[in-house]
A and B are shown apart, each in its own frame.
Chain A
Amino acid sequence: GIQVEQSPPDLILQEGANSTLRCNFSDSVNNLQWFHQNPWGQLINLFYIPSGTKQNGRLSATTVATERYSLLYISSSQTTDSGVYFCAVALQGGSEKLVFGKGTKLTVNP
């Protein structure tokens, strides 16, 4: 099956710093989503981005489908950004399965 690898696995930042999270996937995909799992466990949709670039406030994401990777940028990080960030993909031509990476755990210190 498709492999989804996220890096780094852990990231510690000071408030105000910028960061880049990466998601590599092993095959062509029809669907790619970024989620934020907050400290209470809730999975929050950040971006649906199978290709191209999107921005939402301090967050932006870019997916280069031909090179099989996606990047999530967090600028001017805040303590509320802490949590785990997941990338999830659905294989092109495959079944309706959204496969998750293992996530990047982000800790933003005040």
Chain B
Amino acid sequence: DAGVIQSPRHEVTEMGQEVTLRCKPISGHDYLFWYRQTMMRGLELLIYFNNNVPIDDSGMPEDRFSAKMPNASFSTLKIQPSEPRDSAVYFCASSLVGFVKANTEAFFGQGTRLTVV
């Protein structure tokens, strides 16, 4: 398997524009996670899905952020409208099963570095 694949790797956009980040999880993994990494807050969980269903979106900072998982092999994180404070590295990760009930690891994509100017 090629691992978790994210696109684009880098995105530069102007304030107010819509940004869509994409993720393809590892095939067969039931869980998908979106994380954001900033210098101030470190790595923080935004939202996670189980079998394509959003389970916990309490980490989504504002209504400007939304995430979807239309099928088992694709997820998007959308920011509309984008603001300079959204600049960060956004990671997608997947795991075979959940962390609480079973032994499993999270595998991360290479991230999308978003810059909003």
**A31–B42 touching, CB < 8 Å:** no
Number of A residues with CB within 8 Å of any CB on chain B: 26
Number of B residues with CB within 8 Å of any CB on chain A: 26
**B103–A100 touching, CB < 8 Å:** no
Q: Is B105 an interface residue (CB 8 A)?
A: yes
Q: Is B43 an interface residue (CB 8 A)?
A: yes
On whether A30 and B100 interact (CB within 8 A), knowing A48-B105, A95-B56, the answer reads yes
Interface residues of A in 75-110 (CB under 8 A from B): 86, 88, 90-103
Q: Which one, A41, A91, A96, A99, contacts B31 given CB within 8 A?
A: A96
On whether A33 and B106 interact (CB within 8 A), knowing A43-B91, A93-B100, the answer reads yes
Q: Is B111 an interface residue (CB 8 A)?
A: yes
Contact partners of A103 in chain B: CB under 8 A: 42
Q: Is B72 an interface residue (CB 8 A)?
A: no
On whether A41 and B113 interact (CB within 8 A), knowing A96-B31, A100-B43, A103-B42, the answer reads yes
**B99–A45 touching, CB < 8 Å:** no
Query: Which of B93, B106, B110, B113 has most A Cβ within 10 Å?
Result: B106
Interface residues of B in 39-85 (CB under 8 A from A): 42-45, 48, 50, 55-56
**A41–B99 touching, CB < 8 Å:** no
